Amino acid sequence: MSPIARPRRRTALLALLLAAWVAGTTLGATTPSQHAAASGTLLQLQAAHADYVPTLNGTSPIFILFLGSDARPGEVITGQRSDSIHLVSINPALHKAAILGFPRDSYVPIPGYGTNKINAAMTMGGPELVVKTVEALTGIKIDYWTLTWFDGFQKMIDDIGGLTVNVPFAMSDHYSHAYFDPGVQTLVGRDALAFARNRHGLPEGDFGRSEDQGLLMTSALAQFRKEFVKDPSRLLSWVGAGLRSTRTNVPLDQIINLAFTCTTINPKHVENIVAPGTTGTVGGLSVVNLTSEAQAIFNDMKDDGLVARKRIPPSPNASLLAG
């Protein structure tokens, strides 16, 4: 029996329940120009390729590109830079996953636009171009992409009742308003966003910020699994928190299957990695040049979605974690 065969038998019933619960929610493909940050859209979830149906039966890894736009209210969400870029890979058969963050200043080839910072790809061609850029860089075919923005992120955290995070070290950054003592605490949306944006107080800047954003993802997974085990109906609350203001072309049964797949992943078996690179300048601009070690990570992930322990780089926040 495949690891996700049992949850799939319950998909039809839960899909009906969820469909009734979110009745009235618009689920349809959208164009980038239609959605400004004030339009009510909290999250976009899209299939990465219109002519490709991802395999969700556990025989292949699932790759999802998570993007965070720095759009402010009134700005087009997909027309701004994607300052948060994470490729999440899930291996359902082994109940493991990996989160790979890309420094926003990574200087990479952008298909059709020459070489530029990776976060500029979305301003040139929306999330679809970011997908093409990451695929060309890594050699990995992406199944889905998701996109949210500042206020959308906050609202979703508030909709699930806050996010419990084990803050790994003290933070005090007046730029992001991240003021935290270390230890387990429940963050409301505003505080979770501050945590995700903090970089000025980190020794490796954006590298450390990317790792902290991955920590928020693993924290969300841990909370989701804990709540699901206690009360399976919480799956509807979590999915609904996004669907109420989501634009998507992904069929509802695939969304439910993805949610069920997440319940099988132990957060302790999720690697949180940031692609290693060195800082430099091009034309007076600060950039990150990804190293050969980054390419080795890409090659490793391509086969089964996982990264061998010997290829996992040191934490960019290692000096703070040691303290």
Q: What is the pLDDT of residues 170-202, one digit of tens each?
A: 999 999 999 999 999 999 999 999 999 999 989
**pLDDT class for 168, splitting at 50, 70, 90?**
very high
3-state secondary structure 16-37: HHHHHHCCCCCCCCCCHHHCEC
Query: What phi and psi, each to the nearest 5 degrees, are found at residue 295?
Result: -65, -35
Task: Answer whether residue 30 shows pLDDT above 70.
Answer: no
- For 112-154, the pLDDT digits (tens) are 999 999 999 999 999 999 999 999 999 999 999 999 888 888 8
User: In whole angstroms, what is the distance from residue 218 CA to residue 99 CA?
Assistant: 9
- pLDDT (0 to 100) of residue 203: 94
Question: Could you report the per-residue pLDDT of 96-116, keeping only the tens digit for each?
Answer: 999 999 999 999 999 999 999
Please check the confidence at residue 25 and state whether its pLDDT lies above 50.
Answer: no
List domains and CATH numbers for the chain.
5-159+224-322 (3.30.420.590)
Q: Which helix (H) or strand (E) segment is 89 a member of?
A: strand 82-91
